[in-house]
Amino acid sequence: MADINDLKNMKDHTNEFDPTDIQNNKTMGILSYIGLLVLVPIFAAKDSKFARFHANQGLVLVIAQAIVTTVLSITAAILGMIPYIGWLLALLIRLVIPVVYIPSIIGIINAAKGQAKELPIIGGIRILK
């Protein structure tokens, strides 16, 4: 499980990118972490390595968020009818769902600052080249 030290030790790739590319594509980096808006930088900023870095992380996040939300919804539908267990599960879902979106906030902050830092847990996963 990730802890506060993981947030401090995110691998920083910022120096691998051209400063002009970073400056010109911060907005695309930010859009990468706003749900399906990840498609905008994927298609509109194909030549920007900075935007691709953030779009990759945003795409991994969208997929992870969809999986977590789906699993929790199915589990809630199945177990939600059991007294007490259904109530506890509903409470757990209300606590877990916001946590799933914390990496998006971290990514938005990094992109806005012009930084290319890997997000905790999913940062090393590459879908886009």
Q: Residue 7 domain-assigned?
A: no
- Within a domain: 94: yes
Where in the sequence is the domain holding 29, given as residue range(s)? 14-112
CA distance 39 to 77: 31
Using DSSP's 3-state secondary structure scheme, residue 108 falls into: helix
What value does the mean pLDDT of the chain take? 89
Q: Say if 32 falls within a structural domain.
A: yes
Q: What is the pTM of this model?
A: 0.85
Residue 60 domain-assigned (yes or no)? yes
> Does a structural domain hold residue 120?
no
Amino acid 87: pLDDT: 82
pLDDT over threshold 60, residue 72: yes
pLDDT digits 0-9 by tens, 106-123:
999 999 999 999 999 888
Q: Residue 112 and residue 116: Cα distance in Å, rounded?
A: 10
pLDDT digits (tens, 9 = 90+) for 29-51: 999 999 999 999 999 999 999 99
Residue among 68, 59, 73 at smallest CA distance from 122: 59
Q: What is the reported pLDDT for 99?
A: 85
Domain count of the fold of the chain: 1
Q: Decide if 93 is inside a domain.
A: yes
Between 59 and 68, the more confident residue is 59
Q: Do the domain assignments include residue 2?
A: no
What is the reported pLDDT for 5?
54
Comparing 41 with 10, the larger pLDDT belongs to: 41
Q: Which two tokens stand for residue 65?
A: 């968020």
